Every structure is written in C-alpha cells, then in structure tokens.
Amino acid sequence: MLVVIVCFVISAVRVGLSAEQAAASPPLTEASPIGIAEGPVLLYGNAVGEWGGHTFSYILTGQKYVFWAGMLYEPGRTSRTMLVGQYPKKEVGLQPVIIRISLEASNFYNSSLPLLVRTPDGFIHIFVGVTHDTGKPSLKPGVLRYFRSTVPDDITSVVDRTELIPTNGYHEFHLRMNVGLSVDGKRLVWVVLAVSSEGKVPFNTPVVFFAERKGADFSFEKPMAYAPPMGLFYPLVAVVEAGAIVIGELWDDAKRPHARLVQFNWSGKITHQEDLPNEKEGSHCAYDLKPLPGQPENLILYATKIPADRQNCSHEFWAYSVKEMRLRLLRSIETDYSWSNSGKWLFLSDHQSVFMNNPSSGQLCAWHGDILGGREVKRTVLPRSNPLSLGLQGSYYVMAPSPLLGSAKTPGEFYFMTDVPNAGKKAEDVGPCSLLLYRLEYQTGNNPK
C-alpha cells in the first residue's frame, strides 16, 4: 500500500548516494539485506509530532496487528485526545482501527504521549501522563493514567485502570518516563521523575513503580525513589530477573548531556551505576536498548556521540552484562554530522545486523554488516522512503517495536514508524504531522533469529 500525498514542499534535505561527505563513514551501496516490502503507509495524517520517538514506546507488533499511539493535533490548544491504532500485518484480512481516548480534565495543561506495552497473552497496556495548571508558571505537575485493551490483540475497546496506580507517597510527576516488561510478562517497571507543587519532594526525584500482573491488569506497588534528584532524564528500561536496568539521557550539564546507566534490584536499591564518557563538551546519549536474541541478561545499547564542534561524530554500540555489571564499547562507527541522526538497531544473524536512521531528517538509511564486530559495514539509502516525494517537509524520528515492551516477532520481518511534518506546518507548532509505517524484510536466505 503506497500512500501518495499531493501538497507543496516547504523544506527538507535530501540524502542520496551523492551526499557522501565523511571519508571515515562506511561506504554507500545500493545493495542491502534489508528492503522496504510495504509502505509508506499513512497511519494518521493529523497528529502531534511524536516527541522523543527515538526513546519511547509508540509502536508495538502483535500476532495480527501493528499497534501505534499518538496524540491528535488540535490547533489553538494543547492536545487532550489520545490516539491508539492497529494496522493489519501482512496477509491478515482485517481493517485498520483507530480509537480516540479523551484525557480532558480540570485545569488540563498538557499530556505526555502514550506508551504501549503488550503482554504475552495479547493485552495492550497504555501508560500516559496528564499535567495540570496550578497557577505556577515554572511547575505543571503531572498525574499518571493507565488503560488496557478489553480483549487481547485488539484496541477497539479499552478500559481505564488508573485506579490501580497508588496515590500515596509520590503522586505528582515531571512526565519524562518510560516502562519496561519482563520476558514472561508478569512484571512491569515504570520509571518517572517526581515533583511536588507544595515543595515536599525534591524536584526531579527519580522514582520507580513496580507492578505485578494480576488477572488481565498490572497492580502497582507504592512508588519508591531509586536515586537522588537529577536533571531531565529520558530513560530506556529493561526488566531482568534481578530487577531493572535504566539507561537515560541525563541533562545535569547542558553542555555535556550524556547517558547514565543505573541497575537496581526489586527493593529499589542501586547495584550498579555508570555514565558514558563526557569529558568533552557535546552530547553522548543513548537512544536504543535491546537484548541479544535468547539472552535477556545481555543487552545492546546504541548511543550517538556528537562533539560540540560537530566534527568526528560517531554511532556507538555498547554491550552490557547484567550479571557482570559491565558496560563495554563494541564498535564506534565514525560519520559526518549530517549522517548522525539517532536510530534503531536490529539483530539479523551472527555477524550481521542493521542500524536504521534518517540522516538529515530525510530518507531511511540502513547501516548493515558486522556492526557489533570488526568486519565491514556499509550504508544503503532506502528507496521509497524519501519524505520529499510525498510532499512532506522531512522526518523527525525513526521508531521501532522492541522486545522489551512485549512486541511479537515474525522471522525476517520488521516494522518502522516515522513522524513527518506535513506541508505547511510551522516550526513553532506541534502539528499537523503524519505517521508513516514501513514494513521491511530481510532479503537473504538467513532469517533473523
């Protein structure tokens, strides 16, 4: 299904085979083990931009559907309408579904974008936060909401289960948050920053909600602080047997934003903490976290290193052993700044994986080869993914389903979602944007595990 949108082009940077700039970058080639099999598919054409899409869980895969989440663009006011959709997978003879869920509340100010989790029995769980205007310009405290699909693998109907979130202890939040799911789907970890409109809680105190599955729902324990107050924190979460690993983008020093890894046990006690190097000015932040197939205790962390002068940028791939509590750099791939956009890593087979990003906020690019090892890596700009050809202004984020959120796997098949600014969208507005879906296939004889 190819979507064609006819409208005026405002601005964008097109990246093609002639855009080679950095001698140290992997060579460009037209041949790639990954190709677009379907798409771009227009999921929705009047959405708010998927802020933080390089980190947060806005897309999942189930057995029959791809599930996605966003917010309706409502000109003249902050959005208060949540969108959740399901798009049928290959050879599934069903129609797409989109539902709207109102977050309207007294003194409503804004909301986070909804986060999605899929448990092994197929239920879709939705986590979102709503901020309220208390009359203080510097503080708009948020509250947490929890919804669940009424039946497995279908979001046609949802139920509000917010009552299961405890409100004693920490109950107001700065909505930089994320969730993670255990492999068996029985435990969930929700990390967020706590605040207080009355000054009773130190600003940006990192807290965690532990939850266990009871029936179809998650039942939450009283939240607890797991670290001292910090700056803005954009976390990725992995739930393991011993507790959780949280890797976040830390902004204590605006000149040196960098990733911090925190491992804590089921009592909320930190057992290991480690930062990516930040001796020099520039950013060194993490944007993807996945386990190696069949090895939930061995995680692959993707980070982007961009010096302040934007020279000698690199895509980095780190390994973290939960049992050894050891973080080590596997591979650093140098690149020009225009190719340094964050993206998502995919395991294909031994000595073969793919990293997908959107250089210069344009077309999708597949970096492929022995990314985790020392062998050759090449780049391929994927045809049919140029937002200019659709009359759009570019693309913001590359989003992909993650096993850490319960996405189901289909061998050889991958989905990506991008949010793209519509023609006519002004830079100061959050919309309108379109959400585009791509189905990619592994094109060699060896299917990914």
CA gap 266, 208 in Å, rounded: 10
For residue 399, pLDDT beyond 80:
yes
pLDDT score for 241: 96
Q: Are 171 and 195 in contact (CB under 8 A)?
A: no
pLDDT digits (tens, 9 = 90+) for 227-259: 999 887 789 999 999 999 999 888 888 899 999
Q: Is the pLDDT of residue 20 over 50?
A: no
In this predicted structure, the answer to whether residue 340 has a pLDDT above a threshold of 60 is yes
CA distance 447 to 440: 13
According to CATH, the topology of domain 17-442 is Methylamine Dehydrogenase; Chain H (2.130.10)
Q: Is 253 exposed, middle or buried (0-12, 13-18, 19+ CB in 10 A)?
A: exposed
pLDDT tens-digit map of 155-198: 999 999 999 999 888 999 998 899 999 999 999 999 999 999 88
Query: Whole-number mean pLDDT of the chain?
Result: 90
- pLDDT at position 444 is 60
Spatial contact of 267 and 244, defined as CB atoms under 8 Å apart = no
Of the candidates 203, 190, 295, 297, which has an alpha carbon nearest to the alpha carbon of residue 246? 190
Q: Which of these, 315, 322, 264, 326, lies nearest to 285 by C-alpha position?
A: 315
